[in-house]
Structures are given as C-alpha cells and as structure tokens.
Structure 1
Amino acid sequence: MDHAGEELLITGAWLLGLGTLSAAIGQTHATVTRTKKGKELVLKGNGIEALGNSLQAVGRSKDPNPASAESTYYYIMGCWIEAAGNTTNSVGIHVELNESEEDGWRIDALGSSVQGLGAAFEAVGASLAADTPARELDMTGNSLVSLGSIVEAIGTVFLLQELEEAGEHILMIGSWIQVIGAFILIRAFSMEAENEEDGERRTFSFYNRGR
C-alpha cells in the first residue's frame, strides 16, 4: 500500500475512535440522566464515524497488491457499508430529536444493523489478509465494532417495545463495545504502518550493502 493509503487508513481509524468515543459519552449521559441530553453528541459521533469509514475505504482502494485483492474487496465494501450505517444512525437520531421518536428509533435500528454488517465484512477482509502481527488485532477490532453495533440495534428494539430503561442501558453497553473495538483498530493500523516502514528500511539497507 502506498504512503497516502496508509495515512488515510490511520486518519480514518482515529476518526472512528473519536466518533465512537463521542457517541459512547453522549449515550452514557442520556442513559444516566434518562433524558435526551447527550443525544446530540451521539449524532455528531456517528457523523465522525461515517467520515472515518469513508477515508478508510479510499485508503484501502490504494492497495495495488494483486495478492490482497480479495481481502481488499471485503475491506472496501465493509467500510462503505459501515459508513452508510453510521450515516443512517445520524439521520435516525435527528428524526428522534426533532420529529418522531419512534420513527427515529426505527431508522437508528436499521443503521446499527447495517453498521454491524459492514464491520463484519471488514473482519472477513482481515481474516483473508496476509498473516502479520496486526492481523489478529484487525480481526478483533472489527468484530467488536460489529458486535457493539448489533447490541445497539437490540437496544433500539427494546425502546420500540416500550422498555426504555433496559433499551438505553443496552445502547450504552453497545456503544462502549464499539469504543474498545475502534481503539484496537487504531493500534492495528499503527502496527501495520510500522511494519511496512521497517520492511522498506530493511530493503533499502540491503540494496545499499549490495552496491
């Protein structure tokens, strides 16, 4: 992968981490206070996550290695699906806050489900990638983001069933699972970049010795 692609992946990962953290803090505030306070932060967090996913999709598209084509396909598809899910979440929360609470919850449940599917595709992409020290972290991080998203979708279903207290607590749990997954991904992408830089330095050193 070229340098620009690596930069986009790492930037996207940090945005994903920032977005999930913002959403988790907002959801925790809403759960603890039992009010809509904090939901604006959840809305903004999902928007930041969508931007991070989009940057990662573009970064993945810059991988010219034919050997990783199948893995890259799953990564790119997963990133765009996840971005769509996060965007849908933002729309759902906006509707919840400004129009119809129930309609917003339905849209939010759909968005979380789509986000979970996208992260699952990324986990598959990681499983097909070359065996590196970052691979296991990549798989684990995306799996946790997927799990957290599905837990959030379940929480929203509880809200629709008029089990609001339980639903809000499930949403909070799901949001923090995503935070853990996102920060594992930051570490994975950082390790991947460090390994590639080490490989380039070793190649350069070997070439110079050969001369």
Structure 2
Amino acid sequence: MITHGDDLLISGAWLLGLGTLVGAIGQTRQTLTGTNLGKDLVLKGNVIEAVGNSLQAIGRTKMLNSENEHSETYFIFGAWLEAAGNTANAVGIDIQLNGSEEEGTRTDALGSGIQGLGATFEAFGASLTEATFSRSLEIKGNGLIAAGSFLESIGNIFILNEKRRMGEQILLLGSWTQVIGAFILIDAFSIGPEPEQPEKGKEGLNSHYSYVNYYA
C-alpha cells in the first residue's frame, strides 16, 4: 500500500522529469536559433520543476521518523533548495524576457547554482541510506541533476563574459544532463521489490522506502 508521502515523491519525480524535458526542449530551440525562441519553455520548465521539488520535500517530511531522520534531513533541505533554485531560474528568465538581459542572466546563474547545491544534498542523503539498487539510482540521478545545474550556472557565466556561443552550448548540455538525471530518479522511486541480498531472509529488509515495495 503506497503511503501519501510516497505518492508525493513519485508525483514530484514525474513533474521534475516533465519540467526538465520542457526546459531542455526550450533550451535546444534557443541554442539552435541563437535567439530567445524557446526561452518561454525554459521558464515554464523551471516552474514545473519547482513544483515537483516542493512535492518531494513535503513527501519526505511526511515520511520522516526517528529511524531515517539523519538522511531525510538532507533530502528535505536539498529538495527545498532545488525548489528555490528553480524559482530563481524562472524569475531570472522572466527578467530577461522583459528586457533586462544582464540582471536576468545573473539571477538565472545564481538559481542554477542553488539548484545544483540542493541536488548535491539529496545525493549525499541517499548515500547515507541502506545499500539498495534504488539508492544507487537516487545517487546517480541527483548527481546528474547537480552536474547539469552547475553546468547551466557556468553557461550563464560565460554569457555574462560575452562568450554567448560557448555559454549557450554549455546551457544545452546542462539541460539535457538534468533530463537524464530526472528520469533516473523516476526509476528509483517507482522500482519494484529488489532481489539483492536474499540471505537476510526477511521481505522488506532491503527496502529504502515503502515505494521500493510498491508492487509487492
């Protein structure tokens, strides 16, 4: 039986995947055309990601207990940081669309850095949990989201330093890196029972969270 907290985690993961995909499509159009075409999609993608991160933070909070408090604290803090970073990204892009290119790019760069830091906290939180296949996917997924976010921050810094072509290419790489990471997280939160470590002899000992046994 899936719990409300688990449900929020999975819903948040799907929104995160959708948001990164929408943003990456928008960034691809922007990079290929060398114009602001597609920037509106990047903005919408970041808003969707912020909602997804918020749902995950709330879901983690509902699942918090004395046994998982140490790792969950990193997850919760990281998810809220990601939500804040994506919100800053959306604000920065909106500022760019309204004519303040440099100010908007600075805000966007800051937001991506905050988002990357949040994903790093989540990856670290996953590393503190019991060794399972879903845990490995969580580390990889959040690690890729962190890497992609930092790449986007670097890309914006290149643009601020009047190296727009290189900056746009780095932004494109960062956006699709996040897509891969987000869909790995969807797998992590939706995965079925794990066959690893059968010698324990008890169903559920290998579980990270109850969503690991969702299909049991």
- TM-score between the two structures when normalised by the length of structure 1: 0.91
**SS at 2:130 equivalent:** coil
1:115 aligns to what?
115
**SS at 1:129 equivalent:** coil
Deviations 1:95-131 (A, max 9, x none): 0110310000000000000000000000011001222
Give yes or no for contact 2:189–2:212 (8 Å, CA) kept in 1: no
2:35 aligns to what?
35
- TM-score between the two structures when normalised by the length of structure 2: 0.89
180-189 vs 2-11, which moves further: 2-11
**SS at 1:99 equivalent:** coil
Q: 2:212 aligns with which of 195, 203, 208?
A: 195
Listed as ranges, the matches of 1:78-89 within 5 Å are 78-89=78-89
* Root-mean-square deviation over aligned CA pairs: 1.4
Distance (Å, rounded) in 2 between the aligned partners of 1:23 and 1:72: 28
Distance (Å, rounded) in 2 between the aligned partners of 1:30 and 1:60: 35
Is 1:45 the equivalent of 2:20? no
Distance (Å, rounded) in 1 between the aligned partners of 2:12 and 2:175: 18
Work out the number of aligned pairs and report it: 199
Alignment-mate amino acid for residue 23 of structure 2: A
**SS at 2:87 equivalent:** helix
Q: Report % sequence identity.
A: 58
Distance (Å, rounded) in 1 between the aligned partners of 2:60 and 2:84: 17
Q: Larger % of helix: which? A: 1
2:136 aligns to what?
136
Structure 1, gaps ≥5 residues long: 202-211
Shift of 1:68: 1.0
Alignment-mate amino acid for residue 3 of structure 1: T
Alignment-mate amino acid for residue 13 of structure 2: A
Deviations 1:12-61 (A, max 9, x none): 00000000000000000000011100000000000000000000000001
